[in-house]
């Protein structure tokens, strides 16, 4: 078997295994866990705060599934995780003062806007007065990509998030290229791009929890 064919086969099999595992356990969103053992193993994990794959030292036992033997394996498994604006990656910070100011921050672990009590001074920019403004600002970047049907000749019904109408709308995808704002179903588009919003035009309130399996599945089906 030629070397190139062998490499392709290995990567294809690894890709199928990792993606199947990811859709079930959302491994890329797990916090890094070195485990209790003391073996020095170079591994990679997806860092939800920096939104990229990074190296860490694995102890050799236990830990969790956000643990990849190579940077490439991590990239393949986690490439479909949507990116959010930088300030939304900051950790919650109440500040040193003692005022009682209910506020919201974007939680990179749950990928939701959650309430916390702000002390009134210092803190950081990941702080919003209400849940709606938090969700609007922290919408994953892919949802803001312009509509792009791609350059091929196929006619495949897909959905994209229209930031002007704030609705998920159907379009015809050409089958290749295009932008990341491309979903197989209206529901997966709503789960990712609308989050907790209630759309007054449609009367639809999407699920409160983002369906990461939907997003990863969409990217796999697109062949990106």
Q: What is the pLDDT of residues 136-171, one digit of tens each?
A: 788 777 788 889 998 888 999 999 999 889 899 999
- pLDDT higher at 146 or 177: 146
User: Are 155 and 216 found together in one domain?
Assistant: yes
User: Are 218 and 145 found together in one domain?
Assistant: yes
Using alpha carbons, select from 171, 84, 200, 64 the residue that is nearest to residue 56.
64
User: Are 22 and 54 found together in one domain?
Assistant: yes
User: Are 128 and 145 found together in one domain?
Assistant: no
CATH of the domain at 67: 4.10.410.10
* Total domains in the fold of the chain: 3
Domain boundary among 44, 78, 112: 78
CA 77 – CA 18 distance, rounded (Å): 6
Digit-coded pLDDT (tens) for 28-42:
878 899 999 999 999
User: Are 7 and 20 found together in one domain?
Assistant: yes
* Res 15: pLDDT: 37
User: Are 65 and 25 found together in one domain?
Assistant: yes
Residue 20, pLDDT > 80, answer: no
- pLDDT higher at 129 or 202: 129
Domain boundary among 102, 120, 137: 137
Structural contact between residues 70 and 11, judged by C-beta atoms closer than 8 angstroms = no
Listing DSSP states for the chain in one string gives --HHHHHHHHHHHHHHHHHHHHHHH-GGGSPP---S----EEEEEEETTTTEEEEEEE-SSS--S--BSSHHHHHHHHTTSPP--GGGGSPP---SS---EEEEEEETTTTEEEEEEE-SSS--S--BSSHHHHHHHT--GGGGSPP---SSS--EEEEEEETTTTEEEEEEE-SS---S--BSSHHHHHHHHTTT--BTTTTB---SS--HHHHHHHHHHHT-
* Res 195: pLDDT: 61
* Res 205: pLDDT: 39
User: Are 122 and 102 found together in one domain?
Assistant: yes
* Res 71: pLDDT: 93
**Has this prediction a pTM greater than 0.75?**
no
User: Are 165 and 131 found together in one domain?
Assistant: no
User: Are 180 and 214 found together in one domain?
Assistant: yes
User: Are 68 and 16 found together in one domain?
Assistant: yes
> How much is the average pLDDT of 99-114?
88
Average pLDDT value for the chain? 77
- pLDDT higher at 79 or 107: 107
Domain of 117 in residue numbering reads as: 86-137
User: Are 157 and 132 found together in one domain?
Assistant: no
User: Are 91 and 66 found together in one domain?
Assistant: no
């Amino acid at each position: 078997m030629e070397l190139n064919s062998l490499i392709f086969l290995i990567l294809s099999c690894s890709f199928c295994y990792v993606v199947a595992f990811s859709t079930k356990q959302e491994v890329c969103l797990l916090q890094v866990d070195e485990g209790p053992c003391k073996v020095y193993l170079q591994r990679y994990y997806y860092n939800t705060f920096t939104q990229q794959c990074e190296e860490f030292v694995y102890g050799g036992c236990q830990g969790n599934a956000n643990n990849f033997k190579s940077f490439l394996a991590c990239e393949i498994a986690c490439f479909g995780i949507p990116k959010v604006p930088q300030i939304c990656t900051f950790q919650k910070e109440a500040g040193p003062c003692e005022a009682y100011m209910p506020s919201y921050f974007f939680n990179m672990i749950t990928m939701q806007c959650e309430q916390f009590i702000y002390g009134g001074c210092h803190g950081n920019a990941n702080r919003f007065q209400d849940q709606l403004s938090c969700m609007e600002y922290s919408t994953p970047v892919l949802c803001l990509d312009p509509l792009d049907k791609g350059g091929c000749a196929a006619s495949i019904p897909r959905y994209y998030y229209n930031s002007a109408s704030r609705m998920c709308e159907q379009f015809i995808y050409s089958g290749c290229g295009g932008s990341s704002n491309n979903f197989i179903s209206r529901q997966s588009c709503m789960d990712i791009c609308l989050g907790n919003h209630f759309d007054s035009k449609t009367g639809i309130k999407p699920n409160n929890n983002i369906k990461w399996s939907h997003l990863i599945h969409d990217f796999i089906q697109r062949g990106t």
